[in-house]
């Protein structure tokens, strides 16, 4: 194995292959930074160009694109509160507040370093344990997806700022939105109100732009009449890179835990970076000594999200397992793995240098910047399905998000319900059908090994707020005594 890994690394450093890797990373960052274009779409756009390449060169470039996009989505998330891809939802929670405090460079550097760390760790795990991990991924079935969705919904307790009831109501609204369109099992048409364009459901990117970006534009530019997009003038400094590196070195547990969460969730077929980043962010808040810092602008929140969604990428890349993968095609396989390792290093370099340029965008006067942002949101919403109705839905969600912010309803639980609704619905219906065919629905849903672990996690996660409340009251009582 080590010989094949060394030969794979040598193949990556061949001039043509390394050039393709650099181009792939840069292209991936651009794709990730444009709202409406996902990493998957970036791969689809460039696949035709790989037809004339060798297998190793094509895989190396595609790997660079994916790793680059996993960092690129953090740029708009930090700067304008818009996740470039769904995987950067949790990055907005602390990334944009950092920008509002004039610390956008801190958020971007933290995102670059955390992305590189998560990708590096996940690729090491992939290189050393790919066959057993591939076998474990095949054990995921409908019950596991159902309980994974339920576990994700328990995160609402963390995302609900100030009121759990409001968080649950927002989560229920998200679940309702997820049912729009054709039912995945049964084919029933639901809540389309006669619009055939809605049969495909609500696009997640459209919801993200509407709930996160537009309310901020309405609030900052129209309501507050701010001169610039951020409340403070942003002045990039070379010392920020050193400060962020030192800060991240002081939180090894958070970095390791976030990367591990991303790697594990990435192994589950179909589970995306959005779930990985939200679960990682939730655990970061849960185990931190000062959880009230989150949501107000801390690099810990950015690091937790970006390390997880980048660690998810290698495990979910979809290489077909088999005896020939690490025998006959071992060199090509390891060339692909090593290319993602090197891509993580390139992300660190490009992201750190880019942090001196990207934040300056926020110093552009609002009267010039706002129209450009609105134009990009319209373009991003329309380009996904070439559907003008998606643009109107985006504006509708923007108005709803603006009103909900005024009423202290955080949009995150709505988006969480929209993401996890299909997992819960499909997992439940398929589990009932399979369990009925096997003779026992309860045994099929509750007695499978992975399901038992997920059920335990759901119970612990649901009860954690009660424990946290009891612990905080205990500390208050100690201070009084």
Q: Is residue 214 part of a domain?
A: yes
Q: Is residue 349 part of a domain?
A: yes
Instruction: Give the pLDDT of residue 36.
Output: 63
d(CA 403, CA 349) in angstroms, rounded, equals: 40
pTM for this model (two decimals): 0.81
Beta carbons within 8 Å of 63's beta carbon, 6+ residues apart: 21, 24, 317, 336, 339, 340, 343
- Domain tally, the chain: 1
229: three-class secondary structure by DSSP? coil
Q: Mind listing the pLDDT tens digit for each residue in 425-443? A: 888 888 988 888 888 888 8
Q: Is residue 399 part of a domain?
A: yes
Q: Mind listing the pLDDT tens digit for each residue in 66-111? A: 888 888 888 888 888 888 777 888 898 899 889 888 888 999 999 9
Q: Is residue 481 part of a domain?
A: no
Whether the CB-CB separation of 395 and 210 falls below 8 Å is answered with yes
Instruction: Give the pLDDT of residue 251.
Output: 92
Whether the CB-CB separation of 320 and 77 falls below 8 Å is answered with no
Instruction: Give the pLDDT of residue 302.
Output: 92
* 144-148, 369-373, 415-419: least confident range: 369-373
d(CA 216, CA 69) in angstroms, rounded, equals: 24
φ, ψ (nearest 5 deg) of residue 296? -115, 0
Distances (CA, A) of 130 to 156, 322, 365, 400: 33, 10, 50, 45
Convert 449-469 into a string of H (helix), E (strand) and C (coil): HHHHHHHHHHHHHHHHHHHHH
d(CA 349, CA 175) in angstroms, rounded, equals: 40
φ, ψ (nearest 5 deg) of residue 189? -95, 125
* 119-128, 207-216, 317-326, 457-466: least confident range: 317-326
Instruction: Give the pLDDT of residue 237.
Output: 84
The parent domain of residue 94 ranges over 2-476
Q: What angle do CA 435, 439, 444 make, to 5 degrees?
A: 35
Q: Is residue 396 part of a domain?
A: yes
| Model confidence at 220: pLDDT above 70 | no
Q: Mind listing the pLDDT tens digit for each residue in 3-37? A: 666 777 788 888 888 898 898 888 888 888 876 66
């Amino acid at each position: 194995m080590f010989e094949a890994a060394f030969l794979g690394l040598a193949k990556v450093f061949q001039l043509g292959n390394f050039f393709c890797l650099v181009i792939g990373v840069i292209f991936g960052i651009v794709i990730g930074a444009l709202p409406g274009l996902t990493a998957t779409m970036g791969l689809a756009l460039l696949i035709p160009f790989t037809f004339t390449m060798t297998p190793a060169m094509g895989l190396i470039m595609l790997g660079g694109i994916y790793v680059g996009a996993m960092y690129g989505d953090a740029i708009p998330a930090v700067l304008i509160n818009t996740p470039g891809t769904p995987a950067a939802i949790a990055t907005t929670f602390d990334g944009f507040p950092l920008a509002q405090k004039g610390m956008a460079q801190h958020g971007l550097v933290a995102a670059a370093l955390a992305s590189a760390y998560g990708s590096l760790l996940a690729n090491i795990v992939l290189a050393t344990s790919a066959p057993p991990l591939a076998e474990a991924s095949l054990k995921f079935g409908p019950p596991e997806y159902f309980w994974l969705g339920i576990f994700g919904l328990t995160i609402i307790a963390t995302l609900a700022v100030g009121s759990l009831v409001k968080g649950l109501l927002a989560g229920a609204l998200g679940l309702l939105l997820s049912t729009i369109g054709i039912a995945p099992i049964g084919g029933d048409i639901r809540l389309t109100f006669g619009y055939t364009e809605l049969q495909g459901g609500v696009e997640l990117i459209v919801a993200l732009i509407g709930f996160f970006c537009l309310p901020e534009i309405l609030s900052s530019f129209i309501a507050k009449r701010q001169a610039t997009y951020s409340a403070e003038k942003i002045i990039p400094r070379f010392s920020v890179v050193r400060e962020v590196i030192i800060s991240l070195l002081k939180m090894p547990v958070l970095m390791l835990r976030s990367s591990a969460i991303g790697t594990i969730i990435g192994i589950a077929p179909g589970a995306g970076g959005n779930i990985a980043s939200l679960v990682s962010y939730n655990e970061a808040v849960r185990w931190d000594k000062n959880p009230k810092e989150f949501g107000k602008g801390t690099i810990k929140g950015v690091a937790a999200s970006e390390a997880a969604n980048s660690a998810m990428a290698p495990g979910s890349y979809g290489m077909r397992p088999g005896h020939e993968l690490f025998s006959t095609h071992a060199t090509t396989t390891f060339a692909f793995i090593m290319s993602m390792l090197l891509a993580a290093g390139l992300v660190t370099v490009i992201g750190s240098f880019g942090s001196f340029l990207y934040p300056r965008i926020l110093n552009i006067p609002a009267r010039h910047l706002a129209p450009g942002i609105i134009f990009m949101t319209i373009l991003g919403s329309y380009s996904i399905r070439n559907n003008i109705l998606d643009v109107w839905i985006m504006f509708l969600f923007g108005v709803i998000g603006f009103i909900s912010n005024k009423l202290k309803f955080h949009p995150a639980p709505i988006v969480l319900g929209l993401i996890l609704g299909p997992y819960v619905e499909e997992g439940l219906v398929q589990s009932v059908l399979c369990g009925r065919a096997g003779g026992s629905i309860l045994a099929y849903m509750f007695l499978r090994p992975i399901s038992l672990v997920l059920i335990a996690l759901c119970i612990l996660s649901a009860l954690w707020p009660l424990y946290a409340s009891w612990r905080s009251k205990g500390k208050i009582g100690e201070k009084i005594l």
